[in-house]
């Protein structure tokens, strides 16, 4: 098959292919730009975007998709026309943004004076802090002073002749000064730079530790008159002796933005209430109406947020042929066939705790990762003791068996899925599988996924049988049988069984005892192991572990691969025979569905993935409260020992977007911003007379920023076609997966069991699927209907 794939296409075929692919690409990358009037110079845009095929003429058609998903057609030659119009929207946007930034900065400046005054309200003079922002005039003076210093420097170096002015203007023409042509432009540029650093603090989240338990719980008692001065006017906050409520002034709410340690917590035993700093989830803004980060949850959820948990094994296919034994690791085989203790989920109280002793391979099928702990925060779906036990067992499984233990403390969680980032930074074997999982199985309920999700619910049970069979039929095990038939029979039964139950207090203690006795190589009962049934059980399984390890370690690496590699190969093989020819077909599926998990095999090994799709705001609020409880050492459960998320960047996927910020500020909820803008004046690019902003200007500015952000997404996909093409070629040549079908009569590769391709070859279809996802075209088409 691979030899046929190597045949050269004719020039006509190549030209036609380029036309189709770049038509699809440009339809995505510049469509909105044409509809809105591109807001960046085309000379720059052409450098940012891959160049189209030179076969296009000015009259060549380009299919375009506008912001509403409407498909239209323009001529290729039209792209370069009317550069003034193309820059008009950019000019309007920048004028509006400059006014908004100044408006926001003024609000932040005043709010910072108030925040500082309240912070110092109960402090001794020596403990007071100064952190309020500079006024606009102070910023202007600092920058003007810097400009004046540069002037003096060049005047000193070059005298007062004209040359110093040339050097001075060269300096202003650098990036630091916005490539300005004169001093006025340079001053305005740097002022705007300084203002914009602060103006949008309401879109940056943080965990703030400014306030104590006492101050949040009971308010601040002012030890002086509290006020601040702005524009020469003094604003009073409180008189000496009065109480200042942080909730009233900043909107902080207990069990929403912060969690207070309980009265009997370790924090209270070490520090006074007036000394315990409490972490608060807020934004970096000083302005009350911008301080609540929970307002971002709804738009963030609209981006179909999901959390990913992973479990990894290093076993993988031999890339030289699907029929070859898999490449396996001796230590990993020992871990999979090692008995360890896990707490049973049937325990109803601490006194009733029981531990089950199981093989590592037996636990993988039950892996759920972080999903177990995601619950709606209502009366009917709180996190139960059984949920916590299951999560802790997954943590133990990762620590003891997984080839990647880095996220064990987070129950295997890799955090929120950011597929744009994954597509941008990863190879196709990673992002195509994940994309297929997120989009759903193709041809089912209209899903747009890529690969069929092969249902193999008994995958790990079958793998266990094959691994145990490989071990017990090995030459070393046969030698052991001849020496001690009774014990070998007992061991074989234990390996094929379901483990045992112990009443020991904790799985860690049981496992530790197993390893201690295993290390001793105990083979007979002793006074230390005959006291209770539990001790006897532990001793027995420690002997099993020691013998299993001994047998496997005696096998050389080639035998390990030959016998255990075959076990993996046979377990994952899709077909027992190849079309009735009598030959085995050991190719595998790209994605297996095993219970609620998805399993795939990549060049790095076997990847078990659990994806939980968030559906309610309450789920997110609950998780945030859990993290804040951990940070404040108010842990209600010992399960949570480290924060699950980075709250300083949790919503950054949307809040860092200039399009989101702009739309949010000019939304109906922020009508004061719209009113403020309409009261301001500017000179349009195509006019000489100053006028006030109007509704059309706001629409044009929104079109520009939307277009600009869409254009920046081209950096994610502009190398993906060649990458996917090479990936498909490699898949066909290696012939390790059943998902790719080669049609010799058409010299074309397609994806099996996917009716969404509509006659397209695999490379074209996969590239278009990636483009559709990155640019969210399916959502736009739906919105435009």
- The DSSP line for 151-210 is HHHHHHHHTTSTHHHHHHHHHHTSGGGTT-SSHHHHHHHHHHHHHHHHHTGGG-EEEE--
- For residues 113 and 109, give the distance between their C-alpha atoms in angstroms, rounded to a whole number: 7
pLDDT (0 to 100) of residue 365: 95
656: pLDDT strictly greater than 80 = yes
The CA distances from residue 421 to 424, 430, 456, in Å, are 5, 12, 30
Given a contact cutoff of 8 angstroms between Cβ atoms, the answer to whether 221 and 594 are in contact is: no
pLDDT in tens, 88-113: 899 999 999 999 999 999 999 999 99
Q: Share the mean pLDDT of the chain.
A: 83
Same domain, 604 and 727: no
Same domain, 608 and 745: no
Whether 201 is covered by a domain: the verdict is: no
Same domain, 322 and 440: yes
Same domain, 728 and 583: no
Q: What 3-state class would DSSP assign to 611?
A: strand
Whether 697 is covered by a domain: the verdict is: no
Same domain, 604 and 736: no
- For residues 685 and 664, give the distance between their C-alpha atoms in angstroms, rounded to a whole number: 26
DSSP 26: H
Look at 643 and 208; give whichever has higher pLDDT: 208
Same domain, 732 and 591: no
Q: Read off φ and ψ for residue 637, nearest 5 degrees.
A: -130, 140
Whether 368 is covered by a domain: the verdict is: yes
- The CA-to-CA distance between both ends of the chain, in Å, stands at 44
Whether 149 is covered by a domain: the verdict is: no
pLDDT (0 to 100) of residue 255: 94
276: pLDDT strictly greater than 80 = yes
Which positions ≥6 away from 90 have C-beta within 8 Å? 39, 40, 704, 708
Q: What is the DSSP string of 263-286?
A: TTSHHHHHS-TTT-B--EEEES-S
Whether 562 is covered by a domain: the verdict is: no
Of 617, 627, 618, 622, residue with least CA distance to 281: 627
Residue that is last in its domain, among 558, 593, 613 = 613
- For residues 647 and 628, give the distance between their C-alpha atoms in angstroms, rounded to a whole number: 9
82: pLDDT strictly greater than 60 = no
Two structure tokens written together for 411: 């129950």
Give me the mean pLDDT over the 499-523 stretch: 59
Whether 220 is covered by a domain: the verdict is: no
526: pLDDT strictly greater than 90 = no
Torsion angle defined by CA atoms of residues 697, 703, 704 and 706, in that order, rounded to the nearest 10 degrees: 140
70: pLDDT strictly greater than 70 = no
Of 210, 261, 293, residue with least CA distance to 630: 261
DSSP 295: G
Same domain, 731 and 608: no
What's the structural domain count of the chain?
A: 2
Same domain, 447 and 592: yes
Angle at 119 between CA 115 and CA 121, to 5 degrees: 115
Whether 730 is covered by a domain: the verdict is: yes
Given a contact cutoff of 8 angstroms between Cβ atoms, the answer to whether 257 and 281 are in contact is: yes
Two structure tokens written together for 50: 């891959």
pLDDT (0 to 100) of residue 447: 76
52: pLDDT strictly greater than 50 = no
The CA distances from residue 117 to 217, 222, 242, 557, in Å, are 19, 10, 14, 70
pLDDT in tens, 734-748: 999 999 999 888 899
Pick the most confident of 351-360, 457-466, 666-675.
457-466
Q: What 3-state class would DSSP assign to 312?
A: strand
Of 397, 504, 380, residue with least CA distance to 460: 397
Task: Supply the range of the domain harboring residue 755.
Answer: 2-81+719-783
- For residues 680 and 691, give the distance between their C-alpha atoms in angstroms, rounded to a whole number: 8
Q: How many Cα atoms within 13 Å fall on the side-chain side of residue 99?
A: 21
pLDDT in tens, 134-184: 999 999 999 999 999 999 999 988 876 778 999 999 999 999 999 999 999
Same domain, 447 and 589: yes
Query: Which of 187-191, 258-262, 482-486 is the least confident region?
Result: 258-262
Whether 65 is covered by a domain: the verdict is: yes
Q: What 3-state class would DSSP assign to 343?
A: strand
Same domain, 745 and 604: no
Predicted TM-score (pTM) of the model is: 0.80
Residue that is last in its domain, among 585, 613, 641 = 613
DSSP 8: P
Query: Which of 65-69, 197-201, 281-285, 301-305 is the least confident region?
Result: 65-69
Look at 342 and 28; give whichever has higher pLDDT: 342
Is residue 355 packed enough to be buried (19+ CB in 10 Å), middle (13-18) or exposed (0-12)?
buried
86: pLDDT strictly greater than 70 = no
Same domain, 430 and 575: yes
The CA distances from residue 295 to 320, 576, 657, 706, in Å, are 53, 55, 15, 22
Same domain, 602 and 736: no
pLDDT in tens, 581-602: 557 899 999 999 999 999 999 9
Query: Which of 112-121, 246-255, 492-501 is the least confident region?
Result: 492-501
Residue that is last in its domain, among 580, 595, 613 = 613
Look at 780 and 399; give whichever has higher pLDDT: 399
């Amino acid at each position: 098959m691979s030899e046929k794939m190597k045949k050269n296409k004719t020039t006509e075929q190549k030209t036609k292919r380029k036309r189709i692919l770049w038509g699809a690409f440009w339809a995505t990358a510049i469509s909105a730009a044409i509809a809105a009037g591109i807001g960046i110079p085309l000379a720059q845009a052409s450098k940012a975007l891959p160049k189209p095929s030179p076969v296009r003429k000015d009259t060549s058609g380009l299919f375009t998709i506008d912001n509403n998903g409407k498909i239209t057609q323009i001529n290729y030659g039209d792209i370069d026309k009317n550069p003034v119009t193309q820059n008009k929207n950019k000019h309007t946007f920048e004028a509006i943004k400059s006014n908004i930034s100044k408006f926001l900065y003024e609000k932040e400046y005043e709010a910072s004076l108030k925040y500082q005054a309240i912070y110092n309200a109960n402090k001794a003079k020596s403990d007071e802090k100064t952190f309020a922002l500079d006024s606009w005039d102070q910023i202007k003076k600092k920058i003007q002073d810097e400009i004046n210093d540069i002037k003096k420097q060049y005047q000193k170096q070059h005298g007062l002749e004209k040359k110093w002015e040339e050097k001075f203007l060269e300096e202003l023409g650098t990036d630091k000064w916005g490539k300005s042509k004169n001093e006025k432009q340079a001053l305005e540029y740097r002022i705007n730079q300084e203002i914009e650093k602060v103006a949008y603090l309401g879109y940056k989240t943080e965990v703030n530790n400014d306030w104590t338990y006492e101050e949040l719980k009971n308010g601040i008692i002012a030890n002086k008159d509290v006020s601040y001065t702005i524009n020469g006017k003094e604003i009073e906050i409180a008189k000496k002796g009065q109480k200042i409520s942080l909730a009233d002034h900043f909107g902080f709410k207990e069990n929403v933005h912060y969690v207070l340690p309980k009265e009997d917590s370790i924090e209270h035993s070490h520090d006074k209430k007036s000394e315990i700093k409490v972490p608060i989830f807020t934004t970096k803004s000083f302005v009350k109406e911008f301080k609540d980060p929970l307002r971002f949850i709804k738009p963030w959820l609209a981006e179909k947020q999901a959390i990913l948990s992973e479990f990894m094994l290093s076993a993988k296919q031999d890339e030289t042929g699907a029929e070859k034994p898999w490449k396996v690791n001796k230590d990993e085989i020992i871990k999979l066939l090692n008995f360890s203790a896990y707490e049973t989920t049937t325990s109803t109280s601490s006194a009733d705790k029981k531990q089950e002793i199981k093989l590592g391979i037996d636990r993988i099928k039950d892996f759920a990762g972080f999903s177990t702990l995601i619950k709606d925060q209502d009366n009917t779906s709180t996190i139960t003791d059984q949920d916590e036990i299951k999560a802790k067992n997954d943590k133990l499984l990762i620590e003891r068996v997984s080839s990647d233990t880095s996220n064990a403390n987070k129950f295997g969680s890799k955090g929120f899925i950011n597929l744009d980032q994954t597509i941008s930074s990863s190879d196709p074997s990673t992002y195509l599988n994940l994309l297929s999982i997120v989009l759903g199985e193709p041809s089912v309920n209209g899903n747009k996924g890529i690969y069929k999700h092969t249902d193999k619910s008994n995958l790990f049970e079958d793998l266990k049988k094959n691994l145990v069979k490989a071990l017990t039929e090995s030459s070393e095990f046969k030698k052991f049988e001849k020496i001690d038939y009774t014990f070998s029979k007992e061991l074989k039964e234990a390996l094929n069984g379901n483990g045992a139950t112990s009443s020991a207090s904790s799985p860690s203690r049981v496992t530790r005892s197993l390893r201690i006795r295993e290390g001793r190589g105990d083979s007979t009962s002793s006074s230390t192991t005959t006291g209770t049934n539990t001790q006897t059980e532990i001793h027995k399984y420690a002997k099993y572990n020691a013998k299993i390890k001994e047998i496997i370690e005696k096998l050389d690496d080639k035998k390990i691969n030959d016998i255990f590699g075959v076990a993996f190969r046979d377990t994952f093989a899709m077909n027992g025979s190849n079309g009735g020819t009598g030959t085995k077909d050991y190719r595998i599926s790209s994605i297996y569905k095993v219970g609620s998990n998805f399993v795939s095999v990549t060049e790095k090994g076997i990847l078990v993935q659990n994806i939980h799709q968030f559906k309610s705001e309450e789920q997110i609020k609950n998780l945030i409260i859990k993290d804040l409880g951990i940070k404040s050492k108010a842990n209600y459960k010992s399960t949570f020992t480290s924060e699950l998320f980075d709250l300083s960047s949790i919503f950054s996927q949307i809040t860092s977007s200039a399009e989101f910020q702009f739309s949010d500020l000019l939304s109906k909820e922020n009508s004061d911003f719209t009113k403020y803008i309409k009261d301001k004046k500017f000179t349009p690019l195509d006019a000489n007379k100053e006028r006030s902003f109007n509704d059309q200007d706001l629409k044009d500015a929104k079109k520009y920023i939307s277009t600009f952000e869409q254009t920046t997404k081209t950096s994610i996909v502009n190398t993906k076609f060649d990458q996917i093409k090479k990936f498909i070629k490699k898949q066909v040549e290696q012939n390790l997966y059943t998902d790719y079908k080669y049609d010799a009569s058409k010299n074309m590769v397609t994806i099996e069991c996917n009716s969404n391709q509509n006659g397209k070859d695999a490379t074209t279809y996969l590239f278009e699927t990636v483009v559709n996802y990155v640019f969210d075209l399916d959502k736009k088409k739906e919105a435009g209907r």
